[in-house]
Homo-oligomer: A and B are copies of this chain.
Amino acid sequence: MARTPVGFAGPNPEAVRLGKRLKDAREYVGITQEEAANHLKVRRSAISEMEAGKRGVGALEMKSLAVLYERPTSWFTGESEQLHVPEDVAFLARTVSDLSENDRGELASFAEFLRSRSKVNKNG
């Protein structure tokens, strides 16, 4: 995790937010830093520093903590849980579900064609 820019000493605000959430979640389920550390196979000090935003958190570490703390990773990252799927996309997905396997193949080919065509238009 050398994500924070080179000449930047101050704490990364986003990392601090992430750490707070990790800490909140841990305390909510009543787990000590040591137990969390054992779960993650890291030193306890690592947990302490992660929660303070002084140390990076690996994506897989976060996933593992998500299990231990019983929360989705999106809760830690603060993502909006909304799926953001336009209605026409949803409609297509539903329609596709009704089709036979052959027809799905045809449709997929056509979709692929449209996709490559739009690429060509963009590039040229």
What is the interface of chain A, defined by CB distance below 8 A to chain B?
A: 1, 3, 5, 12, 14-15, 18, 30, 40-42, 56-63, 66, 70, 72-74, 76-77, 79, 81, 83-86, 88-89, 91-93, 95-101, 103-108, 110-112, 114-115, 117-119
Contact = CB atoms under 8 A, between A and B. Distances in A.
Most chain B CB within 10 A, of A85, A110, A111, is at A111
B79 A89 contact: no
B107 A114 contact: yes
A104 B79 contact: no
A107 B107 contact: yes
Interface SS majority for chain A: helix
Given A57-B60, A62-B77, A99-B114, 9 more contacts: A14-B60, A18-B59, A59-B59, A59-B77, A63-B77, A73-B73, A89-B93, A103-B115, A107-B111
A59 B12 CA distance: 13
A115 B88 contact: no
Nearest to A77: B63
B92 A118 contact: no
